[in-house]
Structure 1
Amino acid sequence: MAQKQYNVTGMSCEHCVASVTEEVSAVPGVNEVVVDLAADTVTVHGTDLDDERLRAAIVEAGYGVDAPVAA
């Protein structure tokens, strides 16, 4: 299973966590999404993870996303 982690800007509450989790979970290949509100990170576990689609899902949820964190 692959893992990708992103720094996400603009998250401030549990609603933010739910929004990001919902959007990212809909990306093909995603098995698990872990949002760390305190660290402003989103960690995605799955197979054949598409970086572009994952970043687009975070933006679709309404948040900024920096380059992936080295995992």
Structure 2
Amino acid sequence: MHDLAALEADGVTATFVASTEFVTATDVQARALGFASVPAVYVAHPIQDRTDEEMAALADEALARVLEAVTSGT
């Protein structure tokens, strides 16, 4: 989150990607860093026990949402 804040402060569009377990933590941390909202994409949780193929499928599913987040300007 700190890296995202630094990138945004430098005018670089960034998006936070995490599993759904971290929705609340993302919101709390963003507010603590002064973000009104953070562009974020969440994937299904948990991820630590997934196979390479399952991780690739999660990434494929999230890709359009990541691209939307970094190009929408919100």
TM-score strictly above 0.5: no
Name the one with the larger strand percent: 1
TM-score where L is the length of structure 1:
0.34
TM-score by length of structure 2 reads 0.33
Structure having the higher helix fraction is: 2
| Greater relative CO (CA pairs within 8 A, separation 6+) | 1
